């Protein structure tokens, strides 16, 4: 499919672009989703396109949150499905406790169906969407179709993983009493600041790392996970992420 040689210095970044462009042509990704990806690309470039220690600590905390939760749910949108569809399928196979729900910023019934079909076609049969519930739940504080929740998904979740998510939905999820883990390259975004655990790293690096950590934590004593969360400092993570990006933007 791809003409990008492995030796190209920007091969990983260029392959992600290809996935998004394919997603656009498949009607999964929107045009503004491509622009949003470019904003993230700029930050990942400044991070040296690598995972930093602050992101590793956040992934460990995220795993603790999801492992301790009664009803952990991963929510995905068009960009997420285009970028890490296969990695989400692996995550779902390894962790049967995790629920998956699609939530789109630019919602239409047709687009939601395309995203769902794509995920299910990859193998994520249990992906949910509010439109397939007879009685969707409603998240207060949002006024678009993004407020609807599947009652078996985000509707009953106590912990939600959001990725590349808009600030107002993250804020509404936190305000509803749910614990929110966010994957966001911009440590200054509202999403990054509102979430209890913020993973500042590129999505295709985060999902496999989180998958591995969740496998390890499955046999961890509950007290260890609780201690890990008690010691976790999300503000420090965000501060370190800002510092790393500023260092990346250092001139010569």
Contact 182, 192 (CB under 8 A): yes
- CB closer to a copy of itself, 57 vs 129: 57
Of 74, 38, 89, 54, nearest to 208 by C-alpha is 89
- CB closer to a copy of itself, 21 vs 90: 21
CB of 249 to a copy of itself, least distance (A): 6
Contact between 21 and a copy of itself per CB under 8 A: yes
Q: What is the DSSP string of 142-160?
A: --SGGGEE-TTTGGG-SEE
CB of 61 to a copy of itself, least distance (A): 20
Contact 81, 191 (CB under 8 A): no
Applying CB under 8 A, the span of 13-21, 69-77, 110-118, 160-168 interacting with a copy of itself comes to: 13-21
Of 166, 200, 161, nearest to 181 by C-alpha is 161
d(CA 146, CA 142): 7
CB of 42 to a copy of itself, least distance (A): 4
Contact between 8 and a copy of itself per CB under 8 A: no
Contact between 81 and a copy of itself per CB under 8 A: no
User: Which residues between 179 and 208 bind a copy of itself (CB under 8 A)?
Assistant: 186-188
Contact between 78 and a copy of itself per CB under 8 A: no
Contact 207, 164 (CB under 8 A): no
**Helix extents (H) in 69-189:** 78-94, 109-122, 167-175
Contact residues toward a copy of itself (CB under 8 A) are: 17, 20-21, 24, 31-32, 34-43, 45, 186-188, 238-239, 242-243, 245-246, 249-251
């Amino acid at each position: 499919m791809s003409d990008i040689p492995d030796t190209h210095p920007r091969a990983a970044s260029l392959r992600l672009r290809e996935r998004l462009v394919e997603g656009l042509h498949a009607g999964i990704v929107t045009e503004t989703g491509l622009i949003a990806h470019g904003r993230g690309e700029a930050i990942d470039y400044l991070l040296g396109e690598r995972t930093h220690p602050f992101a590793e600590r956040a992934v460990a905390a995220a795993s603790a949150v999801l492992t301790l939760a009664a009803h952990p749910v991963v929510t995905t949108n068009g960009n997420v499905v285009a970028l890490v569809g296969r990695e989400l399928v692996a995550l779902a196979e390894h962790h049967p406790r995790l629920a998956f729900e699609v939530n789109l910023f630019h919602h239409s019934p047709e687009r939601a169906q395309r995203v769902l079909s794509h995920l299910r076609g990859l193998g994520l049969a249990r992906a949910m969407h509010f439109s397939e519930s007879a009685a969707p739940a409603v998240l207060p504080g949002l006024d678009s179709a993004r407020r609807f929740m599947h009652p078996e998904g985000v509707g009953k979740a106590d912990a939600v993983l959001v990725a590349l998510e808009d600030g107002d939905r993250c804020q509404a999820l936190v305000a509803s009493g749910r614990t929110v883990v966010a994957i966001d390259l911009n440590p200054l975004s509202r999403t990054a600041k509102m979430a209890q655990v913020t993973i500042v790293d590129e999505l295709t690096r985060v999902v496999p790392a989180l998958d591995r950590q969740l496998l390890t934590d499955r046999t961890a004593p509950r007290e260890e996970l609780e201690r890990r969360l008690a010691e976790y400092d999300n503000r420090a993570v965000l501060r370190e992420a800002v510092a790393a990006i500023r260092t990346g933007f250092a001139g010569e």
